Amino acid sequence: MVTQRRLLISALIALPFALALACDKVPLLAPTGTVITLLPVTTSVSLNSEVDIIATVIENGTTASTGGGTNITPTNRTGAGTPVQNGTVITFTTTLGRIEPSEARTHNGQVTVKLITSGASGTANITAFSGGASASIPLQVGTAAVGRIIVTTNPQTLVSSGGTATVIAAVTDTGGSAIGGVPVTFSTDKGSVTPSTAITDVNGVATATLTTNGTAKVTATAGTQSNTATVTVNARTLASFAAAPTSTSAGVPVAFTVTPATGVNLSNVRVDFGDGSSGSTGPISAATTLPHAYGGSGFFTATATPTDAPSDALSTVVIVGSLPVTLTVAPSPATVNGATTITVGGIPAGTPIDHFVFTFSSTDGGPATITQAAPQLTRIFTARGAHVVRVDVFGVGSSSPIGTATTTFDVQ
Res 25: pLDDT: 63
Res 365: pLDDT: 72
Res 242: pLDDT: 96
Q: Which helix (H) or strand (E) holds 19?
A: helix 2-25
Q: Which CATH superfamily is domain 34-143 in?
A: Immunoglobulins (2.60.40.10)
Distance in angstroms (rounded) separating the CA atoms of residues 186 and 353: 64
Domain-wise residue ranges, the chain? 34-143, 146-233, 238-321, 326-411
Distance in angstroms (rounded) separating the CA atoms of residues 250 and 346: 12
- pTM for this entry: 0.52
Res 69: pLDDT: 39
Cβ count within 10 A of residue 275: 19
Q: Which helix (H) or strand (E) holds 359?
A: strand 353-360
Cβ count within 10 A of residue 256: 22
Report the candidate in 211, 215, 212 with the shortest Cα–Cα distance to residue 235.
215
- Asked if the domains 238-321 and 326-411 are classified in one and the same CATH topology, the answer is yes
Are the CB atoms for 141 and 49 separated by under 8 Å? Answer: no
Grouping H, G, I as helix, E, B as strand and the rest as coil, residue 312 is: helix
Res 62: pLDDT: 60
- In which region does residue 290 sit, left (phi positive, over 0), alpha (psi from -120 to 50) or beta (all else)? beta
- In which region does residue 122 sit, left (phi positive, over 0), alpha (psi from -120 to 50) or beta (all else)? left
Grouping H, G, I as helix, E, B as strand and the rest as coil, residue 386 is: strand
Chain-centroid distance of CA 50 in Å reads: 34
Pairing of strands 157-158, 225-233: parallel
Res 70: pLDDT: 37
Res 6: pLDDT: 57
Distance in angstroms (rounded) separating the CA atoms of residues 143 and 120: 9
Q: Which phi and psi (to 5°) does residue 72 adopt?
A: -80, -35
pLDDT in single tens digits along all 412 residues of the chain: 445 555 455 555 554 544 444 445 678 999 998 999 999 888 788 888 889 999 999 998 665 444 443 333 343 344 457 999 999 999 999 999 999 999 999 999 999 999 999 888 889 999 999 998 999 999 988 888 898 999 999 999 988 778 999 999 999 988 888 888 889 999 999 999 999 999 999 899 999 999 998 899 999 999 889 999 999 988 778 999 999 999 888 888 999 999 998 888 899 999 999 999 999 999 999 999 999 998 888 889 999 999 988 888 999 999 898 888 999 999 999 999 999 999 999 888 878 889 999 999 877 778 899 999 999 999 999 989 999 999 999 888 777 888 899 999 999 9
Q: Which helix (H) or strand (E) holds 229?
A: strand 225-233
The fold for domain 326-411 equals Immunoglobulin-like (2.60.40)
DSSP string for 103-140: EEE-SSSEEEEEEE--S--EEEEEEEEETTEEEEEEEE
Q: Which phi and psi (to 5°) does residue 18 adopt?
A: -65, -45
The fold for domain 146-233 equals Immunoglobulin-like (2.60.40)
Res 76: pLDDT: 38
Report the candidate in 172, 163, 166 with the shortest Cα–Cα distance to residue 186.
166
AA letter at 129? F
Report how far apart the first and last C-alpha atoms of the chain are (Å, whole number): 180
The fold for domain 238-321 equals Immunoglobulin-like (2.60.40)
Q: Quickly list H helices, 57-105.
A: none
